[in-house]
Amino acid sequence: MIEADPDFTQVLTAISQRATENDIAAAWPQVDLDELAAIGAMRWAIGRAYGGDDLDALELHDRYELIASASLATALVLSQRDTAAGYLEASTNDDLKNDLLPKLARNELWTTIGISHLTTSTQSGTLIATPEAGGYVIDGTIPWATGGTQSQFVVAGAKTTGSEQLIFALPVDRPGVTRQQPIKLATLAAAPTGAILCQNVKIETALVIAGPAERALAKRTKSLPIGQVFAALGLTRTAMTLIAQIDLPSAAATLEALQRQFGELSESVRQANSIMIERHDLQTGPLLRSECNSLAIRAAHAAVTLYKGAGLRVDHPAQRLARECLFLLVWSSPMSVMDRNLELISETH
């Protein structure tokens, strides 16, 4: 089982203590991010050439899992920022990388991604890039941008008029860019997510990160085939911690069963990420993601059950955990993952 060093552990404890309050207040987790920055977290995902620590992808996601066990909202905010950095670092635009990546490593800028409309089959937004002399004109909507209201730029994705993908850095202060207020969601209020509207926004070629190309989104550093499972495993850790505090035989039996399943799935995930990269395996990912989702949901429901009425209070961590598990069912879920989620939900024994 992965472990944190003493400084990281201290920060995780503090983040966990603030998580429910931040959720209720819909408060941007600035203190969490400041404390993570103080132990070097803003350097983890960035290459050494740009002032980062250049952690390998698996170690980086292990740390996301631990942060998610303290606060899923904070883990999401940080991972979205790091994903944006990953697109930048994979770019061939050296001038843009040399400008932005050192600033991100020094925590002088904040960024996020706005690409979900290119990766989901049910598209709630469309962003079109029309070529013009010296760059592109961007029109349309980025429907989901976590932390967009806190960012100085967004790594955004658009379709060109030729239906190719274009990835670019979108400065949020450009004329024609409007950041809408965060959407009121059932969970993750401390990771504010909202739409960004673009109307006749000029983007010069100096801001292009990748493309235009058919699969520009595929070019990113620090990614894992099933990197999303860190959220489910982190939430399962939280549930087990809560259950361990209940002094009942049923709680002990439940905890033992969950710990066994968690250990088996964690090992499977670590092995699968390596195998999927080597063999280009596209079948294992949806199965494992759904298994991890199912474990987290069952663990959260077990925690609510054991805490009884207290688990229904909005200020109880078990209740926050139960709501956060809803995120697992919809986050970056292609049809293969959705179908397997539904199979597990509808199974009878």
Are 132 and 192 part of one and the same domain? yes
pLDDT computed for residue 284 by the predictor: 64
Contact assessment for residue 320 and residue 21, using Cβ atoms and an 8 Å cutoff = no
Distance in angstroms (rounded) separating the CA atoms of residues 228 and 226 = 5
- The mean predicted confidence, pLDDT, of the chain is 90
Are 342 and 316 part of one and the same domain? yes
pLDDT computed for residue 214 by the predictor: 84
Q: Which of 218, 246, 267 is the last residue of a domain?
A: 218
Which residue range(s) make up the domain with 85?
6-105
> What is the average per-residue pLDDT within 226-241?
92
Q: What is the CATH number for 128? A: 2.40.110.10
Q: Which residues contact 101 (CB under 8 A, 6 or more apart)?
A: 46, 47, 50, 51, 52, 85, 88, 89
State the total domains in the chain: 3
Residue 127: strand pairing partners: 140
pLDDT computed for residue 1 by the predictor: 54
pTM for the model: 0.92
Are 246 and 342 part of one and the same domain? yes
> What is the average per-residue pLDDT within 248-263?
96
- Give residue-wise pLDDT tens across range 81-129: 999 999 999 999 999 999 999 999 999 999 999 987 776 544 455 899 9
- 164 φ/ψ angles, rounded to the nearest 5 degrees: -95, 165
Q: Which residue did the predictor score with more confidence, 344 or 188?
A: 188
Q: For residue 280, is it within any domain?
A: yes
pLDDT computed for residue 276 by the predictor: 60
Distance in angstroms (rounded) separating the CA atoms of residues 129 and 257 = 51
Confidence of residue 218 (pLDDT cuts 50, 70, 90): confident
- Give residue-wise pLDDT tens across range 16-73: 999 999 999 999 999 999 999 999 999 999 999 999 999 999 899 999 999 999 999 9
Q: For residue 223, is it within any domain?
A: no
